[in-house]
Chains A and B, each alone.
Chain A
């Protein structure tokens, strides 16, 4: 069984953290992953930076631009991660846009993911239909779980389709927005969280976008298996220091 699936079976709410590989400095990747695990984070999304991140707000855009300036590429990332499984046990997911993966070669990318011990991928601009028709077999050959997004506007039919194609968790985008663009959840968000929770989907849901502190983490995990923090963590890295990661995690978990 894949590490993601194992983790989802644990009887607890999961905290997942996103960070951009190669930011703030090119070689921070491994340290950040190790410190996040030591601090008690349950799962990590490693962002593969892209020049044109359509679904991201200014914070993650800026971190991606900086990471690319620092020299981050798919090849560099795989090299950095080559011994990661000697020290890290929690699930690791690569989150990136489709074009860099396409240029690396989808199969070559998946193979490399398996070699270094990556458990899954999140590719926001690879639609579920294209994945299902063209790439599902390849991902499965290399033991990778592909994670799809749903939003408040996703129809029930499509959610059921996404649920049927998924074999890990569903990434629930908390509201209609790019990353890092809201603070706090209102009635509209909770109504949506409840609606999805009541659909009794096969895959558990993890909520992302708009989770930034203990309050939003608690609100989100009331209805879902876990929550993902991205922009707030990137902002913390740029404002504070990579040496203080445990403080950030502690504040979230309270």
Chain B
């Protein structure tokens, strides 16, 4: 079984490029050039240099001793939270800004939900001196004020998405409309492993530095490259894609994908796409998608703004369908409890997205000698307000 994208842009039956003709020239240019550009020695050199000196990579692979003791297994945390801007998102934006420059683009657009990808995009645009416009749902702008301020300080223009439900899905629609209106000078930095081909593959490749590092870091610490499990939370699925990438074709490595169950998978307030979704088309790709029987896209819910996307990247849809990955759904309450536990056992305040991945240890029993690598995708500073309200701190 092949878990990578094929020549036509599909992962099994998922993926492709279902885009209006207006977007075709841009997406086609990217499709023809992305692999070639990424393989250029100059590109690689610049990308790796920035990841090292600017982002602060490699991110540590930290053996979580007290957490491991509590669950009687061996848990390693891949510390993406220690990256510049506080999450894995920057790996992709560094890659894409270098791509945009090589394609001769002068104007950058992005969508953002919680604001993490928006901040990561505004950051690299400042770094490269490029114009930056970030689309963000009007409702998200109101509930993520610090990230809006960060983007503005970094010189980005934050444009409210006023259509539909005024959250991430609508911000993505607005970014796509902007790209239709500006087809020549603009590059769209998509923040997750979603969108028309080649985006899911390109984003995955930029994020694959996560699993590349895990391999040699685990070799140093455990004497072997492959853990028994790799675990990551999934909204669109970019940190998960990067965490799994180099293990996809290692059959002895089990893959766990953690979705947000919100108030409960069947509560009507959930974002567990692998359970609730049906094959459909969103933002240019065929994937599992939460929708009505009539094919209208529905609004998901999670306490975590980074996981409430109604779709999932096409690679993950394929991993779910083939059974290569085990999908687990974690509720708001379970995630919040696990987040607080990590604070108190390890002195690390995780992003609420990440807390979902940490909550699996209450649900699933591992063997004492299992080696489990969890992607600690982001830090929790951005979520303090939610933590304060939830725990009445």
Query: Within residues 225 to 260 of chain B, which ones have a CB less than 8 A from any CB in chain A?
Result: none
| Chain A residues positioned under 8 Å from B25 (CB to CB) | 153-155
Chain A to chain B: the 5 pairs with minimum beta-carbon distance, closest first: A103-B295, A100-B295, A51-B296, A149-B21, A55-B20
A127 touches B296 (CB 8 A): no
Q: Does B16 contact A (CB under 8 A)?
A: yes
Q: Closest residue of chain B to A76, judged by CB?
A: B294
Q: Closest residue of chain A to B165, judged by CB?
A: A51
Residues of A near any B CB (own CB < 8 A): 50-55, 57-58, 61, 65, 68, 73-75, 97-104, 124-128, 130, 148-151, 153-155, 158, 173, 176-178, 181
Among B169, B181, B281, find the residue whose CB has the most chain A CB atoms closer than 10 A: B281
Supply 5 A–B pairs (Cβ within 8 Å), ascending by A: A99-B281, A99-B297, A127-B18, A151-B22, A153-B183
Q: Does B291 contact A (CB under 8 A)?
A: yes
Q: Closest residue of chain B to A162, judged by CB?
A: B21
A126 touches B18 (CB 8 A): yes
Since A100-B294, A100-B296, A102-B280 are in contact, a sample of 9 more A-B pairs with Cβ atoms closer than 8 Å, ordered by chain A residue number, is A54-B173, A61-B164, A65-B164, A74-B294, A103-B278, A103-B294, A104-B295, A130-B18, A181-B181
Q: How many angstroms from the CA of A74 to the CA of B163 in the assembled complex?
A: 22
Q: Does B176 contact A (CB under 8 A)?
A: yes
| Chain A residues positioned under 8 Å from B272 (CB to CB) | none
B22 touches A55 (CB 8 A): yes
Q: Does B49 contact A (CB under 8 A)?
A: no
Separation in Å of the A234 CB from the closest CB of chain B? 15
| Chain B residues positioned under 8 Å from A103 (CB to CB) | 278, 280, 291, 293-295
Among A55, A65, A154, find the residue whose CB has the most chain B CB atoms closer than 10 A: A55
**Binary per-residue interface labels of chain B (267-287) against chain A in the complex, 1 for a CB within 8 Å, 0 otherwise:** 000000000001111111000
| Chain A residues positioned under 8 Å from B16 (CB to CB) | 130
Q: How many angstroms from the CA of A176 to the CA of B25 in the assembled complex?
A: 11
A98 touches B163 (CB 8 A): no
Q: Closest residue of chain B to A56, judged by CB?
A: B177
| Chain B residues positioned under 8 Å from A102 (CB to CB) | 279-281, 295
Q: How many angstroms from the CA of A37 to the CA of B55 in the assembled complex?
A: 63
**Binary per-residue interface labels of chain B (379-391) against chain A in the complex, 1 for a CB within 8 Å, 0 otherwise:** 0000000000000
Q: How many angstroms from the CA of A54 to the CA of B296 in the assembled complex?
A: 13
A158 touches B163 (CB 8 A): no
| Chain A residues positioned under 8 Å from B183 (CB to CB) | 151, 153, 176
Q: How many angstroms from the CA of A153 to the CA of B21 in the assembled complex?
A: 9
Q: Does B17 contact A (CB under 8 A)?
A: yes
| Chain B residues positioned under 8 Å from A55 (CB to CB) | 20, 22, 177, 180
Q: How many angstroms from the CA of A98 to the CA of B282 in the assembled complex?
A: 10
Q: How many angstroms from the CA of A54 to the CA of B164 in the assembled complex?
A: 12
| Chain B residues positioned under 8 Å from A127 (CB to CB) | 17-19, 21, 24
Q: Given known contacts A68-B296, A104-B295, is B180 in contact with A125 (CB within 8 Å)?
A: no
B281 touches A178 (CB 8 A): no
| Chain B residues positioned under 8 Å from A52 (CB to CB) | 164, 169-170, 173, 282-283, 297
Q: How many angstroms from the CA of A68 to the CA of B180 in the assembled complex?
A: 24
| Chain B residues positioned under 8 Å from A58 (CB to CB) | 163
A173 touches B22 (CB 8 A): yes
Separation in Å of the B106 CB from the closest CB of chain A? 16
B281 touches A125 (CB 8 A): yes
Q: Closest residue of chain B to A100, judged by CB?
A: B295
B21 touches A151 (CB 8 A): yes
